[in-house]
Amino acid sequence: MTIFSKIIAGEIPCYKIAESDKFYAFLDIFPLQKGHTLVVPKIEEDKIFDLPDEYLSKALTFAKPIAQAIEKAFACNRVSLVTVGLEVPHAHIHLIPINEPSDINFNNKKYFTFAM
């Protein structure tokens, strides 16, 4: 069971943003920018493009209103969608508010911001 599955199951606390029958969205515990949100399928699959087609086709539809809310809530030019997928062996999408390309550099310092 991955750490994301434990978060979805409620075994590990998180700041939940949204949930559907197939997806779960929550704030990244080590965000690159304020508002950095993860969109995670409720099924465990390591690589994003190994997800069943029904998940791939619905991932962006689920993420869209979250990205729009992030853009309204944080001073940013746009919300970037990134699928690095190396940190946790569970497919996921990063939604990151950005103003310049360097805002999505995963080598930048990350901030621990978990608060319940």
Q: Which position among 36, 90, 92, 94 bears the catalytic label?
A: 92
What does each C-alpha distance from 90 to 45, 87, 104, 105 come to in angstroms? 5, 9, 20, 20
Q: What are the tokens at 22? A: 């197939």
Is 92 catalytic? The answer is yes
What distance in Å separates the CA atoms of residue 69 and residue 74, rounded to the nearest whole number? 9
User: Could you list the active site residues?
Assistant: 92
